[in-house]
Amino acid sequence: MSEDKKKLELLEQIMAIDFMVIELNLYLNTHPMDKDALAKHNSFAMQSKMLRESYERLYGPIAQGSTSAYPWQWIKEPWPWEYEANPRLSREGK
């Protein structure tokens, strides 16, 4: 598998898990006492943290505040709005 394809696959996983974090965050805002939702949120948040760490080690910072290799990696293209930066959605079971 090409380096680029591996990178986009990992990015797609992070995007999917971060979506769960955002969705549960919004739900918990109006249901702060829901223990199940809170446990799910915390589990996805931990998974996201771990995946981000491995992504950033391999491909450079995904968020401001992360450490960078030399030279400064943040300015590396492509940016998220570009075609090349985005994974093609894998549609399981479709």
What tokens appear for 69 in the block? 């290799």
- Least gap, CB of 1 to another protein (angstroms): 18
Among 1, 35, 36, 65, binds another protein (CB under 8 A): 65
Does 70 contact another protein by CB under 8 A? Answer: no
Q: Which residues make Cβ contacts (< 8 Å) with residue 71, sequence separation at least 6?
A: none
Number of Cβ within 10 Å of residue 64's Cβ equals 6
- Output the smallest distance, CB 86 to another protein, in A: 4
2, 32, 67, 94: which one contacts another protein (CB under 8 A)? Answer: 32
Taking the C-alpha atoms of residue 56 and residue 67, their distance in angstroms, rounded to an integer, is 9
Contact between 20 and another protein (CB under 8 A)? Answer: no
What's the number of CA atoms in the CB half-sphere (13 Å) around residue 26? Answer: 5
Residues that bind another protein (CB under 8 A): 11-12, 14-15, 18-19, 22-23, 25-27, 29-32, 61-65, 74, 79-83, 85-89
